[in-house]
Amino acid sequence: MTEHDPAIARLTQRPPQAEIDVAVGELAARFGNRLVTSMAVREQHGHNLSWTPNQPPDAVIFAQSTEDVSDAVKICAGHGVPVIALGANTSLEGHTNAPYGGVSIDVSQMNEILEVHAEDLDVVLQPGVTRKALNDYLRDTGLFFPIDPGADASIGGMCATRASGTNAVRYGTMKDNVLALTVVMPDGRIVKTARRAKKSSAGYDLTRLFVGSEGTLGIITEITLKLYGIPEAISAATCQFPSIKAACDTVIETIQSGLPIARIELVDPLTVRAFNNYAKLGLTEAPMLFLEFHGTEKGVEEQTTRFKELAEGNGGGPFNWTTKPEERTKLWQARHDVYWAHQTLKAKPEMTGFSTDVCVPISRLADCVTQTIEDAERIGIVAPVVGHVGDGNFHTGPLFDPNDPEDVAKAKNFVERLVRRGLDMGGTCTGEHGVGQAKIKYMREEHSPETLNVMRAIKRALDPQNIMNPGKVLDA
Amino acid sequence: MTEHDPAIARLTQRPPQAEIDVAVGELAARFGNRLVTSMAVREQHGHNLSWTPNQPPDAVIFAQSTEDVSDAVKICAGHGVPVIALGANTSLEGHTNAPYGGVSIDVSQMNEILEVHAEDLDVVLQPGVTRKALNDYLRDTGLFFPIDPGADASIGGMCATRASGTNAVRYGTMKDNVLALTVVMPDGRIVKTARRAKKSSAGYDLTRLFVGSEGTLGIITEITLKLYGIPEAISAATCQFPSIKAACDTVIETIQSGLPIARIELVDPLTVRAFNNYAKLGLTEAPMLFLEFHGTEKGVEEQTTRFKELAEGNGGGPFNWTTKPEERTKLWQARHDVYWAHQTLKAKPEMTGFSTDVCVPISRLADCVTQTIEDAERIGIVAPVVGHVGDGNFHTGPLFDPNDPEDVAKAKNFVERLVRRGLDMGGTCTGEHGVGQAKIKYMREEHSPETLNVMRAIKRALDPQNIMNPGKVLDA
């Protein structure tokens, strides 16, 4: 590619306004009042939960079918206009805003569950279905979809960002739970990546190429997911530890012993303080694990007993546990309320927070979390830690005043040091949030130039005009 | 691409002999006696376990390092000469022969285990390590690598073909168990796909793009695999059923109930006859399941009891089971000897067999297996069935006289009808063997032209000269 390559230009500037206007005109003719250009709707689609600025698209289309998406992409491709897909808009790293303008294709109305194959333990659905809607729909079947990133994200967005969350330690991430995708390619063609067979060696794994591609290679319009039987018994537990190291060592021993734990979440002492503020729990300000065990009745009893032994061996206790649904909810309530609890840590009301994540080999988890907490203290920023620690993955959300440049600088410095710490320990700059705009610069630190060039070669081959979500995942 | 595109020419013809000669000369200067051109060695490298013809390369290099592979690929790329990677040479669909000549890069001497990270449950190794060598090496660590495709395949080859096997129902396939790869690209550059973190959302999933790419996008020279703790208790069992349907229904119920079975293998009545021939077992000629349960002592006992209930509900029995290692081996012996047992079914000694596989949604498994058995009877061919049925995956290997054209035609017809039956049921033309040469034509039936064009676009972007294992996976 040369300096004057239009694809590079599109990474760094908007297309000519005239091209955008013509494309929007053609889209209006095709979509009628499902094309919206009001500033309120555009700004809503240029906003997300990260600290990236609001960058509204030029227009928003509310798609209702794969053909809608295909037609919209064809029109945009004809004029070199960027296309940004959007589902529930719960992005945490700036995936859905439109830095170079273009058209946001909102798939939230594509929210039908098309087929449930109970015998095959799979479901075919549209990308706008949210994970909670899916599980509500499945309730009577005895099946469930376990991936739980916290937010009620759309399944399409969860595919696009390779999401995971609390249950990943047992059930894997989105990459492990998608059987097939229908994708609208950058020229509008419709591609099905695979069939419903549980495994296949028939060619390149296009499914997993699109999972985690963040809308930069195509737009996901139909998804086949694996499902699981709702476990016969579920037990929940909490336990506190004298140190982050003691808690992490318990996690490592649990994973190593092959104990099939379903959830194992760490919160740091600062988060426990937040729980006390928020819900008057009166807990000691010490690290805490939230646990969930799935299996048969005897199986969960055995898992719970074994885990208790491991925890006590590391000085953990007391150990609260229950198998009753309503008590389980109560035990985990603090963890579910963590976002609200963290708000109580704000030194002044104008402060805001965001969430970012890294993932390290589990042997480095205690070091990484401990050093991160020490770093926040040293920098003088409030940054509570919550982790899906069975995977070596944790989150932190510094609180800062967005109007105080010093505060913003501190938060940026803290995140930069966090990511570098994770990378230095053999980890990744994002375990589950994705790259978006916010982590592009760390891609150059995580991957070699040769590795990034392979990614860029694939991007160029599939999207030569670079119209699919430009300015995300890869830079020029 | 035009008709005269050299990349297309290379799909359909050898490069000019002069180019091959110059490349081989340069390779000889670099590799000395690790470059071999004797016909015996070339033919050995042009042979595999499929029914594809022996197609020897022009030369064989015995690589000992990533740099060796990189240098060899650079020299071949400089002359447009094909490069074919080869590990243990246990391909079942014609992956390693050289239809358009070129250089076979034999990585079997790259057989070092580089790092075991016991705390992180991972291992870094070279591609020539075989799965049995890996598990022997790991024995004292209490860890193991579960993927078992039957043959003592190399880990590199297992990555390249997205292999799975008997344990996949519990532990997944290669795609689920590779954390990172080092790959020599078609221009000789060395790329690392990922780090050791258990999960990541940092960019395109290059790891899973190379897993299953069969050496057509690059050569795998280093692998990071997940490991698992050896289960505290293992129990093995066998059970016979009145019909294929009864056996398959038991499998479906087992999977649906969430029973975490480690192995569940079906053999058909013909295979049971073969067992009787081979080892005088005196079994009823009825379908049979071989089972293995992994877990804690109590857990395994509970799994076994529950499975027994499910089996009896479908008329299965009697049920033989044991937890003692030596008795387990005895119970499973027939299954391990299945290749030799099947030889006893030959009507004449000059007959040969091969193995091919399909995979269907599990709800269609009983239909697919039953119709396949009926089809073999109708066509008049002996084709025993063995299946990793927990995944909906099964194998069959017709016996035929390779010198009898009518016999060959019958075998080909049988396989063609098998694959189409699998595809008609929503399945895949290969669950775990890969495409190689033998299943290229079915790629056009399994995938749409648009899907194949996406695969071709990726191939062209990464290997514009089409020198990496040409004539495999994709046609022109």
- Measured between its terminal Cα atoms, the distance across chain A in Å is 10
Instruction: Pick A200's closest partner by Cβ from B228, B431, B473.
Output: B431
d(CA A292, CA B382): 51
pLDDT in the model for residue B13: 82
Contacts B197 to A, Cβ<8 Å: 359-361, 392-393, 426-428, 431
From chain A, the residues in CB contact with B392 under 8 A are 120, 197-198
Residue B473 resides in a domain: no
Looking at the fold, whether A47 and A102 belong to one and the same domain comes out as yes
Residue B69: strand, helix, or coil: helix
Residue A273 in any domain: the answer is yes
In chain B, residues with a C-beta closer than 8 Å to the C-beta of A458 are 204, 209, 458, 461-462
Q: How far is A25 from chain B (nearest CA, A)?
A: 29
Q: Which residues of chain B have pLDDT under 50?
A: 1-4
Residue of B nearest to A213 (CA): B204
Q: Do A192 and B460 touch (CB under 8 A)?
A: no
Instruction: Report the gap between the CA of B391 and the closest CA in chain A (Å).
Output: 6
CA B17 to chain centre: 33
Closest to B241 in 3D by CA, of B231, B223, B256, B253: B253
Question: How confident is the model at residue B6, as a pLDDT?
Answer: 55
pLDDT, residue A41, reads 96
Residue whose structure tokens are 């000889």:
B28
Residue numbers in B near A366 (CB within 8 A): none
**Does residue B446 lie in a domain region?**
no
Together in a domain, B280 and B353? no
Across the interface, which of A302, A451, A452 has its CB nearest the CB of B296?
A302
Q: Are residues A58 and A119 located together in one domain of the fold? A: no
Closest residue in chain A to residue B442, using alpha carbons only: A202
* Location of structure tokens 């402060």: A351
Nearest to A299 among B299, B435, B452 (CB): B299
Q: Which of A276, A302, A336 is the last residue of a domain?
A: A336
Contact A73, A190 (CB under 8 A): no
Tally helices (H) and strands (E) across chain B: 18, 20
- For residue A445, being part of any structural domain is answered with no
Q: Which domain holds residue A303?
A: 233-336
Collect all residues of chain A within an 8 Å Cβ-Cβ radius of residue B299.
298-299, 302
CATH at residue A273: 3.30.70.3450
Interface contact A195-B255, CB threshold 8 A: no
Which H/E stretch holds residue B466? none
Q: Write out residues in chain A with pLDDT < 50, as ranges.
A: 1-4
Q: How many CB atoms lie within 10 A of CB B198?
A: 26
The CATH number for A382's domain is 3.30.70.2740
Residue that finishes a domain, picked among A296, A312, A336: A336
The pLDDT score that the predictor gives to residue B11 is 55
C-alpha pair distances (Å), A256 with each of A253, A393, A425, B230, B459: 5, 16, 20, 10, 39
A273 and A358 share a domain? no
Judged by CB atoms closer than 8 Å, whether chains meet at B204 and A458 is answered as yes
Residue B142 lies in a domain: yes
Please list every residue in chain A whose beta carbon sits closer than 8 Å to the beta carbon of residue B175: 205, 208
Contact B462 A454 (CB under 8 A): yes
In a domain, B314, yes or no: yes
Q: Give which of A204, A216, A367 to mutate to test B binding, by max B Cβ within 10 Å.
A: A204
Closest-CA residue in chain A for B193?
Answer: A451
Q: How many domains does chain A have?
A: 4
* Alpha carbon of residue A146 to chain centroid: 14
Query: Which chain B residue's Cα is nearest to A200?
Result: B431
Cα A451 to Cα A267, A360, B202, B456, distances in angstroms: 35, 20, 12, 20
Where would I find the H helices in A105-193?
Answer: 131-138, 155-160, 168-171, 174-177
Q: Cβ–Cβ contacts within 10 Å for residue B63, how many?
A: 27
In a domain, A421, yes or no: yes
Q: What is the DSSP string of A125-155?
A: E-TT-BHHHHHHHHGGGTEE-----SS--BH
Spatial contact of A159 and A181, defined as CB atoms under 8 Å apart: yes
Q: Are residues A356 and A392 in the same domain?
A: yes
Q: Determine contact, residues B120/B196, Cβ cutoff 8 Å.
A: yes
Token pair, residue B348, equals: 């004449």
* Short-list A414, A384, A382, CA closest to A396: A384
- Residue A2: per-residue pLDDT: 39
Instruction: Tell me what pLDDT residue B475 has.
Output: 86
Q: What is d(CA A459, CA A467) in angstroms, rounded to the nearest whole number?
A: 10
Cα A33 to its chain centre, rounded Å, is 31
Residues A166 and A213 in one domain: yes
For chains A and B, what is the number of CB pairs under 8 angstroms?
A: 278
Tell me, what's the pLDDT at A5?
A: 55
Rounded to the nearest 5 degrees, what angle is found at the Cα of A437, between the Cα atoms of A436 and A438?
A: 95
Q: Are the C-beta atoms of residues A311 and A247 closer than 8 Å to each other?
A: no
Say how many C-beta atoms besides its own lie within 10 A of residue B136's C-beta.
Answer: 10
Indicate the residue among B341, B367, B399 that finishes a domain. Answer: B341
Distance from CA of B6 to the nearest CA of A (A): 19
Does the distance separating the beta carbons of A206 and B455 come in below 8 Å? Answer: yes
Q: What is the pLDDT of residue A8?
A: 53
| Residues in A touching B195 (Cβ below 8 Å) | 423, 426-428, 446
Q: Dihedral of CA A355/A359/A360/A364: which sign?
A: positive
Examine the domain organization and report whether A327 and A364 are in the same domain.
no
**B229/A455 touch (CB, cutoff 8 Å), yes or no:** no
Is residue B187 within 8 Å of B74, Cβ to Cβ?
A: yes
Same-domain pairing of B132 and B207: yes
Inter-residue contact B93 to B433 (CB < 8 Å): yes
Say yes or no for a CB contact (<8 Å) between B195 and A455: no
> In sequence order, what are the residues at sequence separation of 6 or more whose Cβ sits closer than 8 angstroms to the Cβ of residue B440?
B472, B473, B474, B475
* B168 and B222 within one domain: yes
* DSSP-H helix ranges across B46-197: 66-78, 131-138, 155-160, 168-171, 174-177
Chain A neighbors of B211, CB-CB under 8 A = 205
Closest approach of chain B CAs to the CA of A255, in angstroms?
9
8 Å CB contact of A447 and B361: no
- The distance of B458 to chain A (nearest Cα, Å) reads 6
Q: Pairing state of beta strands B228-229 and B263-267? A: unpaired
Cis (ω within 30 of 0) for the bond into A318? Answer: yes
Closest chain B residue to the Cα of A360, Cα to Cα: B197
Instruction: Looking at the complex, report in whole angstroms how far the Cα of residue B268 sits from the nearest Cα belonging to chain A.
Output: 21
Q: Which residue of B has its CA nearest to A161?
A: B201
Nearest to A384 by CA among A272, A238, A219: A272
Q: Do B176 and A172 touch (CB under 8 A)?
A: yes
pTM: 0.96
CATH of the domain at A80: 3.30.43.10
Q: Which residues, in sequence order, are bridge partners of residue A320?
A: A238
CATH number of domain containing B128: 3.30.465.10
Closest CA to B79 of B168, B159, B33, B16: B16
Is residue B357 assigned to a domain?
yes
Examine the domain organization and report whether A197 and A142 are in the same domain. Answer: yes
Which amino acid belongs to residue B168?
A
Q: B362: nearest CA in chain A?
A: A120
Asked if residue B135 and residue B214 are part of one domain, the reply reads yes
**What one-character-per-residue DSSP string does B397-423 give?**
--EE-TT-HHHHHHHHHHHHHHHHHHH
SS3 A89: coil
A255 and A195 part of one domain: no
Put the strands of the sheet holding A122-125 in their side by side order.
Answer: A113-117, A122-125, A219-226, A178-184, A190-192
Residue of A nearest to B231 (CA): A258
pLDDT at A433: 94
A228 to chain B: closest CA residue: B258
